[in-house]
Structure 1
Amino acid sequence: MVEDESCQWSSLPSDLIHFISTKLPDLSDRVRLRAVCKTWRSSISISDPSPRLPWLLTRTYNMDGNEEILYYSLSSQKTYKIYCPHLKDASFRGTFGGSIVFYRYPRSVFLFNPLTRLEISVSLSPPKYFDAIEVASNPFRKEFAVVLGCTQDSTCAISFGFIKPDDGLWVIHESGLVNNWCDCVYYEGKYYINEYGAETRIMSATTGEVVSTIPSPDQTGFNKIECQYMLETCGEILLIYRHKIAGKMKQYVFDIYRLDEARGDYQWVKIRGIGDRMLFLNSTGGFSVSASDFPGFRGNCIYFQAADLPSHNYMLLRQHDLENGTTKILPNFWGGCGTWIIPNFG
């Protein structure tokens, strides 16, 4: 009887097996499905472009002092380990496609795929000195843009650079900003630069010209801003302020603004929700996916990390429901500040 059942499972039509695999939201589930037998492995492509849930990556060190990358799966609500001892002296700077962008002092930038272990060096020609680099691109986009923090003559000026993987050419511009930049988003040939407590500038990525300056949203009467994010999602630029409710350690309020162009002028317009989207916030920016692609998940939600107390060096993963204003802690994640990635084998 057991033999017959085994034959039946291995004899399932290839198109049916493939269809089942497309309903798995987590890439690790698809890998396990491929391991069942040769027939299933040949029927399921690990490079299938169907939607998949992001993983939250953070890093730690084992007892031997070797580097470990932890990834948290929303699907299984479990944390797994990837051993990467050679990355000990490099730091997370964001994600691009299915790779992590790493920066190694003093001038090395490279992409690393945590699944395939493939490492790709990124050709970089910044000004003579620089001490920081941040990714400014939506990980779903084809153009890889970064922000370079440069130090020259005891002043800290900010430069911007973007690269198209097809031609490998960098275009770098000085921004004129000194020591007060906050978030930057690159989208369709423009940088959207939001300064701490100041306006948002829109700068051409080809000429470096500032084409528009937008006043910051009025936050009078709100709780103190605990964190600020700016990101591009579905062709829209969003600015998000996170407030913590006084006296309540685990409750938060999010104010979301969409950059709107009305009669030729840009302005920040407050919106109440994000519809079907699930927002995944990194330390400053983030991205979104459609909840309708993942059965069992709700839209109009924000996933983010926050510590209960400023003195804590660990971050808890939380889900905030914009519809009812509640925040809950997701189980089985315990780590430092991480970054979201869409895993793939490409």
Structure 2
Amino acid sequence: MASQSIMLSLGSKKRVCRRPRGRSSSTTAGRPDWRLLPDNVIVLIGDRFLADNDLDYYIDFRAACATWRRATDDPKRHGGADPRFQPKAWAVQKHFGSPHLNRVVSMVNLKTCRLVTREIPLLGNYRYINATDAGLLVLWDGGMPPWQPCRALVLNPLTGSMAFFSVPIFAEGIRAVAVNTSPLMLFASNLFDFLGWADLDSQDFEEHRVRYPDLLANMKLFAGDIYVVNWSGSIFSTASDAIVADEGAQPQQRSAEMIRMNPTTIHAASWLREGHPHYYLVESAGELLLVTRSTAGGQAALVHKVDTVNKVLEPMVSIGSRAIFINKVRSFSVDANMFPAVEGGCIYFVETLANLFHHGIIASSVRLADQRQEDIMQFGFQGQFGPPTLVEVLADHCRYTPEHELEHYYGWNWDDDEI
């Protein structure tokens, strides 16, 4: 009978699958109905996607059928602060140009080497400031002229979750951003003399300002705290002991007003400051590293582990199979075993847009073990043509390239009809 129901026993539970009307039982005989998977199997599949931070796969998986949606957690229902549904290791490249391209971002999963290109209509209504190291987008709600401060918006490009901050933010001049999700807090810096942070309801940024020669060189969110290194090689952070209201009471959740920048290491040793070096902070395999590169020829690139508890630097002679991509604004590391054409044990110092445009140099690769250095040339710069290499893609994600710089170097005059 067309309306007959088939009862399937799945452990201690029973599910009912209705046959479509007008079809005989022979049309579905021997064909599994994947909607009837046990709940624990459905949850395990979803958890596998979340373990790799493939949030888009998880959302597509839930969209397949109502049974799978009921068995798994809804990212929107659990709010934007649930760490399971936050991007953790996605490098983001914002496209610029025509109105269509302005709504497009490319993202690389730094754990699995998966490239995703997404069109986000919301980018047509908001101005782009930058992306966090994890992959969140920090926007502002328009405003002309560009120097007019407008409120900030944090967007999860994989789930669509949004958080509006009350604090006004200047889009021009902000070069690095970070978002701590527990509690939700926005950090922004011009990587010069200003670092600010704010809660959702903050009316103004709490500020940390510095003067020459201790200007800010690099910023990194690590283990829920912000770490910055200055031109002298000193590291400061928001790390501090938990704040307790009364003796025996539970620690209070930190707010923007409670946070202060505290010394983590005081001034790098004199031998670390030889040759007017540049300092970079990067997280690699769960550790915070300080990378030092001298501007003088013949000086070695150095890597130190930052012991955030004892506030000391521990020298490292190897980074194993990891490869580190470094730029003043964004730095990250990947497992070279997962990324073809990326050499493990190497540090890729990503060049500026000016060097790329004039000399075709994407990055200078330094192998930590023997300090062998090699310039990675842009594919096509010397007469070769084809799709971008993986190193080019990662370097582009690492390099901060605001729209006005692209227009300056390439002289782009976009016409939407040409795209």
Change in Cα spacing, 1:138 to 1:146, as seen in structure 2 (3 Å) is closer
> Are residue 310 (structure 1) and residue 372 (structure 2) matched?
no
Task: Tell me the residue number matched to 1:19.
Answer: 44
Q: Secondary structure at the match of 1:20?
A: helix
TM-score (norm 1): 0.63
Q: Deviations over 1:145-169 (max 9, x none)?
A: 524449xxxxxx723322345x647
| In 2: Cα distance, 1:206 partner to 1:92 partner | 24
Q: Equivalent residues in 2 for 1:1-346 (5 A)?
A: 3-4=28-29, 6-24=31-49, 25=52, 26-45=54-73, 47=75, 49=84, 54-61=89-96, 63-64=98-99, 66-74=101-109, 75=112, 77-84=114-121, 86-87=123-124, 90-95=127-132, 99-102=136-139, 105-106=146-147, 107-108=149-150, 109-124=152-167, 131-135=172-176, 137=178, 142=183, 144-149=185-190, 158-165=193-200, 168=202, 172-178=206-212, 180-185=215-220, 192-196=227-231, 198-202=232-236, 206=259, 213-215=266-268, 218=271, 228-231=279-282, 237-241=288-292, 255-260=302-307, 266-273=311-318, 283-286=328-331, 306=350, 310-312=355-357, 330=390, 333=393, 336-337=396-397
Give the distance between the partners of 2:282 and 2:85, measured in 1 at CA: 23
- Unpaired segments ≥5 residues, structure 2: 1-25, 76-81, 239-257, 377-388, 401-419
Question: What is the CA distance between 1:36 and its match in structure 2?
Answer: 3.0
- In 2, the alpha carbon distance for the partners of 1:65 and 1:236 equals 39
Distance 1:303 1:64 in 2: 36
Rg comparison, structure with higher value:
2
**1:10-58: per-residue Cα shift (whole Å, max 9, x none)?**
2210111211222232222223322333222332335382897633211
The 8 Å contact of residues 104 and 120 in structure 2, kept in 1 or not, is answered as yes
- Cα distance in structure 2, aligned partners of 1:243 and 1:271: 17
How many residues are matched?
315
**Letter of the structure 2 residue corresponding to residue 172 of structure 1:** E
Structure 2 vs 1, CA of residues 322 and 29 (structure 1 numbering), >3 Å: closer, same or farther? farther
After superposition, the C-alpha distances for 1:132-191 in whole angstroms (9 at most, x for unaligned) are 2354647565463524449xxxxxx723322345x6476623433248421134678986
1:326, 1:20 → 2: CA distance? Answer: 43
Contact 1:57-1:69 within 8 A present in 2 as well = no
Which one has more relative contact order, counting CA pairs under 8 Å at least 6 apart?
1
- Amino acid in the other structure paired with 1:310: N
Range that drifts further, 323-332 or 71-80: 323-332
Change (3 A) 1:89 1:37: closer
Structure-1 separation of matches of 2:107 and 2:211: 36
**One-letter code aligned to 1:173:** E
Distance in 1 (alpha carbons) for counterparts of 2:90 and 2:394: 14
Which structure shows the bigger proportion of residues in helix conformation? 2
CA distance in 2, matches of 1:315, 1:37: 48
Q: Do the aligned residues in 2 keep the contact of 1:62 with 1:68 (CA within 8 Å)?
A: no
Instruction: Give, in whole Å, the separation in 2 of the partners of 1:189 and 1:20.
Output: 28
What TM-score do you get using the length of structure 2 for normalisation? 0.54
Q: Verify the 8 A CA contact 1:55 1:72 in the aligned structure 2.
A: yes
Question: Identity, % of aligned pairs?
Answer: 15
Decide which structure has greater strand share. 1
Residues 80 and 322 of structure 1: is their aligned pair in 2 closer, same or farther, counting only changes over 3 Å? farther
Contact 2:174 2:188 (C-alpha < 8 Å) held by counterparts:
yes
The Cα shift of 1:234 comes to: 8.3
- CA separation in 2, counterparts of 1:12 and 1:321? 49
Task: State the Cα RMSD in Å.
Answer: 5.4
On the 8 A contact 2:91/2:134 being kept in 1, the answer is: no
Q: 2:38, 2:68 → 1: CA distance?
A: 9
Partner Cα separation in structure 2 for residue 19 and residue 189 of structure 1: 28
